[in-house]
Structure 1
């Protein structure tokens, strides 16, 4: 059994499709099929059921998947440790994003990584807090920006900044907004975020405190989509302060006090000694002005 057999097994299990797994691993579908067949023959078990819709893990496959991930993580740790002994850090890192590039200071982060670790391949992948955390847990991301408190003992998080929030309203609804009392705002149309978004939790706390619920028109789980829906007149929404330009003709911020949420940088606790993670944290903390990274990294429980 070879490590590439395990990589293929994990890729097929996560993608649930031979073609998508082949694209992810930059190889051919026949090669993927051959790897799975060789692994099943070596182990003497059936790992997948082949269905018209794709590949489905058997009960044995479900049992073996976390062990395969552990084996790959151990191999990666071994390799990264060896590379960390060299003068140059060589490898790749996948960073999950949850907001716009300017707010996350991505240009400065990329420049710092390129200067200090020119052979480190960096991928910055668009997502949200709700999608970044599951991707971190299964190894699809190495680190991610997340908003809100993270109650997960498997994660280490580094506080970066507070995100001030506001209620954004369409200019077209200005005449209907006769009051900024919470009960009055609840009667207006709203663009929701998804329940796993910190902005949703702020909205829920705000309205539950007044025993009312806003009128939901649609859900937009990306901030840029939510902003455009507000600007288009669909309804009100909660966004980060400063996203709207002060002179935006289509939307404006309401004078309603909302609590801020923390912007944090997260990664799996078990990888805290990984040279790639340590290098990334060094640069993130420098870009965000965190002077003592070890003191800023705190438990997520």
Structure 2
């Protein structure tokens, strides 16, 4: 590629060039970067080309396997990150200097809105910060963390505390995941040991749903493998499949106990998975006025949550994090 004939007075490095450069470098393919940035693939390619011409350097090696950074691209990638972070800090500081809080706040939910008290969140945010537009999306904990890293959401609710150096976590409450099966399987489930339970058909979730990985570890520690027959990434779908007699799975405690009381599910008493719910956002945006407003409202909404209790005090038998 030749850069010598390019007239540098006609073009400058733009922020969107750097954002595209970062996305392509991290995703490895133009198509994935296009999906991440919500722009067309030709636009992604044009941004990369414009940046290479302005810098006078080739940033990527293109092949059938995707886009790989050149040695020069590797060096400049960190500078691009620093530049974008600097712009973010300027934006955050400007918001903190304003008397009002305004803007769009994108929040990812990892479970149903009732459990996360979303109606109260929306009401309080609207009352105290009427110039904040609240955008809500539904995902799973692992993907929410990925979306935070990619800048696709501003905050989210998750059931695990991962990467504390990169993120701020506000603990909201503790709860348990119980092992539940169809009511018609009562005798099979109530009399099951760990081996019997592992042989039953299981309804499971994709890897990004990290709390289920904890449940699987409960069996791995006993050198057992689960018989996974159905995969679903939605809790309501999982619950419906259990009640339809398709298998057993982990169910959030409040939903499990309600289903048990209604006679639609039966509980295995031999173990559970202790969990915490958190609000999470990037550590680099801890002073962002939008996120400070969100944290304040969420903390108030959850101030009456139960004080966490050690799992051994509430479980009939050892839980996932207890010794086998």
| Structure 1 residue aligned with 2:318 | none
Instruction: Tell me how far apart the structure 1 counterparts of residues 118 and 79 of structure 2 sit (CA, whole Å).
Output: 34
Q: Which of 235, 244, 257 is the matching residue for 2:247?
A: 235
**Residues 154 and 270 of structure 1 are in contact (CA less than 8 Å); yes or no, is this contact kept in structure 2?**
yes
**Deviation of residue 99 (structure 1)?**
0.9
| Structure 1 residue aligned with 2:285 | 271
Aligned pairs for 1:94-113 (under 5 A) are: 94-113=106-125
| Structure 2 residue aligned with 1:295 | none
Structure label with greater radius of gyration: 2
| Structure 1 residue aligned with 2:67 | 56
**Residues 175 and 275 of structure 2 are in contact (CA less than 8 Å); yes or no, is this contact kept in structure 1?**
yes
Q: Which of 259, 262, 267 is the matching residue for 2:276?
A: 262
Please say if 1:37 is aligned against 2:49.
Answer: yes
Instruction: Tell me how far apart the structure 2 counterparts of residues 266 and 122 of structure 1 sit (CA, whole Å).
Output: 16
For these two proteins, the number of residue pairs brought into alignment is 288
| Structure 1 residue aligned with 2:217 | 204
Instruction: Call closer, same or farther: CA 1:248–1:290 in 2, change over 3 Å.
Output: closer
Instruction: Tell me how far apart the structure 2 counterparts of residues 107 and 242 of structure 1 sit (CA, whole Å).
Output: 18
Instruction: Tell me how far apart the structure 2 counterparts of residues 78 and 221 of structure 1 sit (CA, whole Å).
Output: 38
| Structure 2 residue aligned with 1:17 | 30
**Residues 285 and 291 of structure 2 are in contact (CA less than 8 Å); yes or no, is this contact kept in structure 1?**
yes
| Structure 2 residue aligned with 1:158 | 170
**Deviation of residue 31 (structure 1)?**
5.0
Instruction: Call closer, same or farther: CA 1:20–1:214 in 2, change over 3 Å.
Output: closer
**Residues 195 and 201 of structure 1 are in contact (CA less than 8 Å); yes or no, is this contact kept in structure 2?**
no
Please say if 1:47 is aligned against 2:62.
Answer: no
Instruction: Call closer, same or farther: CA 1:240–1:79 in 2, change over 3 Å.
Output: same
Instruction: Call closer, same or farther: CA 1:150–1:36 in 2, change over 3 Å.
Output: closer
Q: Which of 4, 8, 17 is the matching residue for 1:5?
A: 17
Query: Which secondary structure state, in structure 1, belongs to the residue aligned with residue 114 of structure 2?
Result: helix
Instruction: Tell me how far apart the structure 2 counterparts of residues 89 and 12 of structure 1 sit (CA, whole Å).
Output: 33
Please say if 1:182 is aligned against 2:170.
Answer: no
**Deviation of residue 208 (structure 1)?**
4.5
Q: Which range moves more in the overlay, 41-50 or 99-108?
A: 41-50
Instruction: Call closer, same or farther: CA 1:158–1:217 in 2, change over 3 Å.
Output: same
Instruction: Tell me how far apart the structure 1 counterparts of residues 40 and 228 of structure 2 sit (CA, whole Å).
Output: 45
TM-score (norm 1): 0.80
Q: Which range moves more in the overlay, 96-105 or 122-131?
A: 122-131
TM-score (norm 2): 0.75
**Residues 107 and 154 of structure 2 are in contact (CA less than 8 Å); yes or no, is this contact kept in structure 1?**
yes
**Deviation of residue 263 (structure 1)?**
0.8
CA RMSD, aligned part only?
3.1
**Deviation of residue 162 (structure 1)?**
0.7
| Structure 1 residue aligned with 2:136 | 124
**Residues 185 and 266 of structure 2 are in contact (CA less than 8 Å); yes or no, is this contact kept in structure 1?**
no
